Structure 1
Amino acid sequence: MGFEVESAQALKIENLTKNFKIDTGSVTALNNVNLTVKSGEFLSIVGASGCGKSTLLRIMVGLEKNYEGKILLGDEPIKGPGTDRGMVFQESRLFPWLTVEQNVAFGLSNKTYTADKNEIVQEHLELVGLNSFAKAYPHQLSGGMQQRISIARALVNKPKVLLLDEPFGALDAMTRINMQQEVLRIWEKEKTTMILVTHDIDEAIYLGDRVVVMSSRPGMVKKIVPVDLPRPRDRSSYDFMQIRKKIYDEFFAQVDRPFVYDI
């Protein structure tokens, strides 16, 4: 079973609305989103394609600045990117001309560390189980190994929050399950607050302490489903399937018109 979630607030979103300008006017991607993430929590976010899930993560990491509302990290407003937040994308985004250890080292900020830089890099390679591949290049690694390097690079600055934007979407089914277990192991060891965006409802339940169900565009928090299941979780258990059904019911009850359910 995972560690107990602390009650302290890691991140808070208040009345968040995001509009994008297009040729014919504007599109509302997010509308009046309110959400509090607890320190040490693993939060999953699911929703149909185009509901603003990835936009929400980009706002959290500080890559989107033009929005209405407020977003706080602890008690401080987020004003842009910072080393207190790390992000892992669907693609590994490694530099092909750099070795594994050089890619991880690239993630280090310029702030002063008490430990040697190389020691920090090796510590994080060990964390993701790839210290023996330190001198390898990305093309010599599998897709799952490349994503582990991306996770190490995102964690190297000891962020308060790690944001995961469909990080396993390009992996085959078995590698995806292995990576889910790997991320859980890292979460339990590091106790970093993690926020995952995914189309995979089973994945959201398997990993999350809670699952946030987003409405179709404009994206709003439609429902938050607690996942009160012991870890490791059995995907075939009755309780797991009941939570899965509850989330699916929210999806299919959302709209009167048909749309693509990319889940």
Structure 2
Amino acid sequence: MSVAAPGQEGIRIEAVSHRYGDVAILDGIRIESRPGQFIALIGPSGCGKTTLLDIMCGIRKHQSGNVLVGGRPPVEGRADTARMFARDALLPWRTASANIDFALKARRRPGNHDAITAQLLEDVGLTGFADNYPSQLSQGMRQRVALARTFSLESDFLFLDEPFGALDAQTKLVLQEKLLSLWERTRSTVVLVTHDLGEAIALADRVVVMTARPGRILADVPIDLPRPRSVSALQKTRAYHDLYAQLWDSLEQATASARLHPGGNA
């Protein structure tokens, strides 16, 4: 898998605002990332995190401001971007390996697809399940296939929308470790939407905290923890708990803003 090339541009979001009818969703969002950086977005439900992610990957057109991904405006279907959802979105009539192969063919990735697929399934701990259909896999195993499929695209930019939110705590921990292991090799630029503060701290280089609707940037917290990381080991450190407390304070401020502005208008 490729590592982000030196000199490649990251993500730049300048004064982005968006409305759904009369309801303000995003207001003056500014975020800039360097190439290969891992960013987590957190904030109260309905604050516009997913809308912002949709804008970054070209699914939704923002109404004002400027967005550049890799130095270019985002467009749906770009070959250098990939999206992973909270649910696996696997094709139910294809096996685990065939779901990954479908992505490889769609992206026209060169190389031996059988070998690439086998390696990715091994990476996510699913050797021996290549011929199983999604209905024959647990939700955690299906998310592993989805994770392998996402990384099979070798994209420079990964947009992840609560990919582990529906999983139990133990399965979530395993997949967080798998995600870190794969990302350490590729160093794609990642934007992760999550409600899990521990997940944000364990995975990200920085955590961007958004206010309640309309979403604004309340805080941008650097995660100065050494890499490579072990998710389980981090939870035993003082630095982890200090960061958790800092982010919790920020979320309390964001939640307070929701109580002050329950209508969600600017």
Q: 5 Å matches for 1:120-135?
A: 120-135=116-131
| 1:109 Cα deviation from its structure 2 partner | 5.1
Paired position in structure 2 for 1:10: 10
Q: Does structure 2 conserve the Cα–Cα contact (< 8 Å) formed by 1:71 and 1:78?
A: yes
Q: Which amino acid aligns with 2:144?
A: R
CA distance in 2, matches of 1:109, 1:62: 22
Change in Cα spacing, 1:241 to 1:160, as seen in structure 2 (3 Å) is same
Q: Which amino acid aligns with 1:258?
A: R
Q: Secondary structure at the match of 2:220?
A: strand
| 1:89 Cα deviation from its structure 2 partner | 0.6
CA distance in 2, matches of 1:79, 1:234: 37
Name the one with the larger helix percent: 2
Q: Secondary structure at the match of 1:62?
A: coil
Paired position in structure 2 for 1:250: 250
Aligned pair partner of 1:90 in 86, 92, 105: 86
Aligned pair partner of 1:75 in 39, 64, 71: 71
Q: Secondary structure at the match of 1:17?
A: strand
Paired position in structure 1 for 2:39: 43
| 1:7 Cα deviation from its structure 2 partner | 8.1
Q: Does structure 1 conserve the Cα–Cα contact (< 8 Å) formed by 2:81 and 2:157?
A: yes
| TM-score relative to the length of structure 2 | 0.87
| 1:170 Cα deviation from its structure 2 partner | 0.8
Deviation sequence 1:51-93 (CA, Å, 0-9, x none) = 0001111111111024212211221111323121111111111
Paired position in structure 1 for 2:173: 177
CA distance in 2, matches of 1:52, 1:251: 15
Over the matched positions of the two proteins, sequence identity in percent amounts to 37
| 1:131 Cα deviation from its structure 2 partner | 3.8
CA distance in 2, matches of 1:111, 1:52: 29
Query: What runs of 5+ residues in structure 2 fail to find an aligned partner?
Result: 261-266
Deviation sequence 1:207-239 (CA, Å, 0-9, x none) = 111111011101111110011122335213222
Q: 5 Å matches for 1:1-263?
A: 9-21=9-21, 26-108=22-104, 110=106, 112-230=108-226, 231-232=229-230, 233-254=233-254, 255=256, 258=259
CA distance in 2, matches of 1:257, 1:193: 30
Q: Secondary structure at the match of 2:234?
A: coil
Q: Is the deviation greater in 190-199 or in 248-257?
A: 248-257
| TM-score relative to the length of structure 1 | 0.88
Q: Does structure 2 conserve the Cα–Cα contact (< 8 Å) formed by 1:9 and 1:38?
A: yes
| 1:245 Cα deviation from its structure 2 partner | 1.2
Change in Cα spacing, 1:222 to 1:209, as seen in structure 2 (3 Å) is same
Aligned length: 251
Q: Which amino acid aligns with 1:137?
A: Y
CA distance in 1, matches of 2:36, 2:56: 16
Query: What runs of 5+ residues in structure 1 fail to find an aligned partner?
Result: none
Q: Which amino acid aligns with 2:166?
A: A
Q: Does structure 2 conserve the Cα–Cα contact (< 8 Å) formed by 1:109 and 1:157?
A: no
Q: Which amino acid aligns with 1:40?
A: G
Q: Does structure 2 conserve the Cα–Cα contact (< 8 Å) formed by 1:83 and 1:109?
A: no
Paired position in structure 1 for 2:264: none
Q: Which amino acid aligns with 1:244?
A: Y
CA distance in 1, matches of 2:19, 2:29: 13
CA distance in 2, matches of 1:215, 1:161: 25
Change in Cα spacing, 1:75 to 1:181, as seen in structure 2 (3 Å) is same
Q: Is the deviation greater in 117-126 or in 239-248?
A: 117-126
| 1:125 Cα deviation from its structure 2 partner | 2.5
Q: Which amino acid aligns with 2:28?
A: N
Q: Which amino acid aligns with 2:122?
A: E
Q: Secondary structure at the match of 2:111?
A: coil
Q: Is the deviation greater in 209-218 or in 126-135?
A: 126-135
Q: Which amino acid aligns with 1:170?
A: A
